[in-house]
Chains A and B, each alone.
Chain A
């Protein structure tokens, strides 16, 4: 039978494909619907937070920081409660990371403040002596892409049924409404910051990347 197969490239390829595909089918399908259930009370991100998440992705923060606390005492002592599947239900894509060149960030919002992030992103070794993290001054001048963040949220709502605009959930509305809300949120963050040019930009209706990023990091709890 095998000899027959080995001389017939088409059937050989079919057989090969089945052998290879088998495992994925067994692994991924059974728990698929269960694993996508959100934790009770979990809210999707606001537009500003999503814009910050996009900054996090754009600069590949996930190359050095995980967002997954494993159920070991050494990790829960250091980073807080271990991670649960339902906490990630709105994460598209997931940002668990695979390497901790820097510490885990899954609950960084519990123990770092806006001010801390502001100083740290500008010059990490000044805040944490010995840090090998790059400086990110460009985040203080580049503008966050709120429009794409809005598109992200409305895609989640339209395609995946993420509960925006429902009772007790973040409001999305039209682009105009969403933009006004994001600016409102940005002003709150900026009021806790010291950098004058960031404050001026936000007052002028522009949101620098750093403000969005801090909004996102503060939401990680």
Chain B
């Protein structure tokens, strides 16, 4: 094993996951734009009978982008960053190679099945855990395969020190495993149906009512943490220093922010249940811990921005750096916005309104989406050994998508606060000023704007897909791997 002169990193699994990221991104985001316009123009909800209503498509959108697009992106970067920072190649182990391939195919099949079953109406109704029990079992299988590949690759590493990105990937693996298992504890009802011809797919939750809500939001909030935050931090800790050629501003800070985030994040789930029937102490704790969460989040974000210290001119020359810096800025924005919404008095207005989807989307579009797009762009010249097809197209995409995000979150901020205030408005005689439908009709222009914002982002994503396709097929062939800045035409 010592003579590794001929040995190369193996990117076949990376390529598969890259393909899946783009495919599921297109599906998930297209559905997102459709349902956004359905709220502005409700006739669009009835174009495909029962299969095209807002309510059927909404779980498809959330699952598609979270577990289709984002997870594929995470897995693609894992097999890339993992091999490179551990200094081991998948070529060295037939076993790990098989595991990685199996991981991809089972994952891919599961997401396709998820699309079909959700459209048919098989759902548990628990947000981000909608998949029914047979699919849940499949998810567990490939999640374990990911774990096997992760610890297997770590076991075969040449580098004794484990880079902080790997820590973040590990945390995602462990935390999601725990959260997913506990939240999806469900009993298939088929086995107690007696002689009734009942559906095999149906199950009921192991927990009831308030407990179910508590477990759900302990999961729901932290699924956000360990799918949309920690793995994306893992991605930025590798790709930003690598693309810019700058060492991280402070490795010590990255390590401290890591432990801080790990400890604090899980406490914050209670902020989804403020003024509900869960005990008061839990609500207050969820609220307080959400505010504490600003510290480790900003620790990472500031560390990223300061990494560019003295090298800010790269922001002008490289669209990739632009994507990544704007992503960290959006990370800062959403991690200050979240705690604000978790303050009880703010939450009284914000909860149940469009401010919440607004908050989610400046995180997912700005932070998650941009980081995954940037990392795929960075990997492309290395895995296809070709120059990036068009810098100009990247630049256009960047500005179009940024405009899209700004339209999205500003319209949703206004919509949310308007609606929240109208719900609680009283006239001089002490009766409610607005009927519910008044508060819906007023949102029409904001829903339209949001749809347009989403459409901009989607068009940008198609540009990305095109650019990646052209890079892989007709970019100029590179004779050696670029060290830092990705070459682009």
Q: How far is the CA of A92 from the CA of B212 in the complex (A)?
A: 8
Q: Are A125 and B42 also in contact (CB < 8 A) when A85-B210, A94-B213 are?
A: yes
Which listed residue, B175, B204, B214, B279, touches A92 by the CB 8 Å rule?
Answer: B204
Min CB distance, B361 to chain A, in Å? 13
Q: How far is the CA of A99 from the CA of B215 in the complex (A)?
A: 18
Q: Are A60 and B59 also in contact (CB < 8 A) when A78-B432, A88-B210, A129-B437 are?
A: yes
Which listed residue, A22, A59, A103, A174, touches B55 by the CB 8 Å rule?
Answer: A59
B206-222 contacts to A, CB under 8 A, are 206-216, 218
Q: A62–B125 contact, CB under 8 A?
A: yes
Chain A residues contacting B445 (CB-CB under 8 Å) are: none
Chain A residues contacting B191 (CB-CB under 8 Å) are: 155
Q: Are A147 and B55 also in contact (CB < 8 A) when A17-B178, A20-B262, A93-B124 are?
A: no
Chain B residues contacting A27 (CB-CB under 8 Å) are: 214, 218, 267, 269-270, 282, 285
Which listed residue, B50, B198, B272, touches A148 by the CB 8 Å rule?
Answer: B198
Q: A94–B174 contact, CB under 8 A?
A: no
Q: B178–A74 contact, CB under 8 A?
A: no
B394 lies within 8 A of chain A by Cβ: no
Q: How far is the CA of A176 from the CA of B435 in the complex (A)?
A: 45
Q: How far is the CA of A174 from the CA of B42 in the complex (A)?
A: 43
A116 lies within 8 A of chain B by Cβ: no
Which listed residue, B195, B209, B423, touches A74 by the CB 8 Å rule?
Answer: B423
Q: A155–B204 contact, CB under 8 A?
A: yes
Chain B residues contacting A151 (CB-CB under 8 Å) are: 189-190, 192-194, 196, 198-199, 202
Chain B residues contacting A71 (CB-CB under 8 Å) are: 275
| A side interface size, CB within 8 A | 87
B93 lies within 8 A of chain A by Cβ: no
B31 lies within 8 A of chain A by Cβ: no
Chain B residues contacting A60 (CB-CB under 8 Å) are: 55-56, 58-59, 123, 125
Q: B266–A59 contact, CB under 8 A?
A: no
Chain A residues contacting B282 (CB-CB under 8 Å) are: 27, 31
The contact string, 1 if C-beta is below 8 Å from chain B, for chain A 202-213, is 000000000000
Interface of B is mostly: helix
Choose the segment among B153-161, B460-468, B474-482 that binds chain A (4+ C-beta atoms closer than 8 Å).
Answer: B153-161
Min CB distance, B222 to chain A, in Å? 8
Which listed residue, B125, B154, B205, B267, touches A9 by the CB 8 Å rule?
Answer: B154
B39 lies within 8 A of chain A by Cβ: yes
| B side interface size, CB within 8 A | 95
Q: How far is the CA of A66 from the CA of B211 in the complex (A)?
A: 17
Chain A residues contacting B300 (CB-CB under 8 Å) are: none
Q: A98–B202 contact, CB under 8 A?
A: no
Chain B residues contacting A135 (CB-CB under 8 Å) are: 45-46
B357-378 contacts to A, CB under 8 A, are 357
Q: B45–A130 contact, CB under 8 A?
A: no
Q: Are A134 and B45 also in contact (CB < 8 A) when A7-B161, A63-B58 are?
A: yes
Q: B192–A72 contact, CB under 8 A?
A: no
Q: Are A156 and B204 also in contact (CB < 8 A) when A24-B266, A63-B55, A147-B197 are?
A: yes
Q: Are A93 and B214 also in contact (CB < 8 A) when A16-B171, A134-B46 are?
A: no
Q: B202–A59 contact, CB under 8 A?
A: no
Chain A residues contacting B198 (CB-CB under 8 Å) are: 145, 147-148, 150-151
Chain A residues contacting B277 (CB-CB under 8 Å) are: 35, 68, 83-85, 88
A159 lies within 8 A of chain B by Cβ: yes
Q: Are A159 and B187 also in contact (CB < 8 A) when A59-B56, A94-B216, A130-B440 are?
A: yes
Q: A63–B54 contact, CB under 8 A?
A: yes
B246-302 contacts to A, CB under 8 A, are 259, 262-263, 265-267, 269-270, 272, 275-279, 282, 285, 289
Which listed residue, A16, A63, A136, A154, touches B170 by the CB 8 Å rule?
Answer: A16
The contact string, 1 if C-beta is below 8 Å from chain B, for chain A 73-112, is 0110110000111011111111111111111000000000
List 8 additional A-B contacts (Cβ < 8 Å) besides A9-B151, A12-B167, A148-B189: A13-B170, A68-B277, A92-B204, A102-B440, A147-B199, A151-B189, A154-B192, A174-B194
14 A-B residue pairings within 8 Å (CB atoms): A17-B174, A27-B267, A28-B218, A59-B53, A59-B56, A70-B275, A72-B348, A74-B424, A83-B277, A91-B208, A134-B53, A146-B196, A151-B199, A175-B194
> Which 6 interchain pairs have the tightest Cβ spacing?
A88-B209, A151-B193, A134-B45, A23-B266, A151-B198, A85-B277
